[in-house]
Amino acid sequence: MMPTLVPHACGGCAVVLALSMLFAQPTPKPYVAVIQKVSGTVGLYTEEGRSLAQIKVGNFPHEAVLSQDGRFLYVSDNGVLWMTEDAPGSNTISVIDTAVMKKVGSIDLGRFHRPHGIAFAGDHLLATTERPFGLIMADTSKRTLVRDFDVKGKSPHMVIPAPDGKRVFVSNTDSDTVAVIDISTGETTLISTPARPQGGVFSPDGRRLYVATTNGNQIAIIDPVTLQVTGTIPTGKGPGRIAITPDGKTLIYNLQFEPAIGFADVASGKQIASVPLTGRPLSLTLNREGTRAFTGIQEQDQVVFISVRQRAIERVLNLPKGSGPDPVIQLDQSQKIQRSSK
């Protein structure tokens, strides 16, 4: 005789199944990393603004750059809030693994303190330093300092690699020059610019370098062959960081003293639009498609997304109180994100 199968209810089983399905959901991938200067952290956020991780780095981080494969984020641990402060600051670069969303190491810069602008020139990681004034090169595989360069100026701020990776252009903010450094020979040449040069960007064809000059209220146009300023584009008040659309037609920059985000037409050499903001923008970066700009408003703990096409605010992310956001770095979302174990 066959046994009789009696069905029975199991509410607990349904709960367990639902929970297992919930926890089986993959961890969302971060869309951006925000360098949170005041809190000394890097926040990883989804496109909608959900916080996925708050990663402690050194004191007062200022700038960051992604490795070429998008896996590691290198963060300059400057150690002071404002570049005008007279203090020794820190001497490390923090290394964040974006796949596991953790800090995995640091690069000791020895006697070089207050790293600021940071970029890759080919396989070389380069960073400006403010104590003493200089440019350093680091080996990312060994996480060691391998070389330094004389910038022949005061307060080196941002480093802009030439497209071929053989030279880098460094804005010497307090001496109104841009240093051109051959990274194989160490030879340095100076270019005079309008007052307080800061961020710069190359045109897509590499034939022009555009440098924002904060006190000059203009963008200097530099010929990277003749090493001469060949023209300027008047802007609003206080341009500091600058980006260019992939088609090379539009420059986008922060205007710290208006406050706003400005747009300039390359062909006409004129500012054509500005987007007003509620607080001072200290940064300006662009997504890879050139469709969205990002800026951090440090004093309001906000990050603003700006539509390049519509020239309008698209989204405002309210970050943790006291975070003090500065630059926003779009991450490589093809990286596989692993769930952290605690």
- Total domains in the chain come to 1
Residue 248 lies in a domain: no
Q: What is the mean pLDDT of residues 154-167?
A: 97
Q: Give the end-to-end CA distance of the chain in Å, rounded to a whole number.
A: 53
Residue 286 forms part of a structural domain: no
The amino acid occupying position 66 is: L
Supply the mean pLDDT for the chain.
Answer: 92
- Residue 133, domain member (yes or no): yes
Query: What is the share, in percent, of the chain residues with pLDDT greater than 90?
Result: 87
Tokens of 164: 């071929």
Compare 150 and 340 and report the one with higher pLDDT. Answer: 150
Q: Is the model's pLDDT at 9 over the cut of 90?
A: no
Written as one letter, the residue type at 235 is T
Q: What is the pLDDT, as a whole number, of residue 276?
A: 98
The band of 336, judged by pLDDT with boundaries at 50, 70 and 90, is: low
Residue 25 lies in a domain: no
Q: What is the mean pLDDT of residues 58-64?
A: 98
Percent of the chain with pLDDT over 70: 90
Domain membership of residue 125 as a residue range: 60-192
Task: Please say if the pLDDT value at position 151 is more than 90.
Answer: yes
* pLDDT recorded at residue 342: 35
Overall average pLDDT of the 214-224 stretch: 98
Q: Supply the DSSP string of 54-70, one letter for each residue.
A: EEE-SSSEEEEEE-TTS
Burial 76-95 (b: 16+ CB within 10 A, else e): bbbbbbebeeeeebbbbbbb
CA distance 160 to 227: 14
* pLDDT band of 40, cuts 50, 70, 90: very high
Of the candidate ranges 43-47, 110-114, 121-125, the one whose mean pLDDT is the lowest: 121-125
> In angstroms, rounded to a whole number, what is the distance separating the alpha carbons of residues 178 and 157?
10
User: Mind listing the pLDDT tens digit for each residue in 178-203?
Assistant: 999 999 999 999 999 999 999 999 99
Tell me the pLDDT tens digit for each residue of 279-321. 999 999 999 999 999 999 999 999 999 999 999 999 999 999 9
Question: How much is the pLDDT for 26?
Answer: 72
User: Is there a domain that residue 246 lies in?
Assistant: no
pLDDT per residue as tens digits for the range 242-287: 999 999 999 999 999 999 999 999 999 999 999 999 999 999 999 9
Residue 142 lies in a domain: yes
167 lies in some domain:
yes
- pLDDT value, residue 13: 53
pTM of this structure: 0.91
Is 153 a member of any domain? yes
Q: What is the CATH number of the domain that holds 144?
A: 2.130.10.10
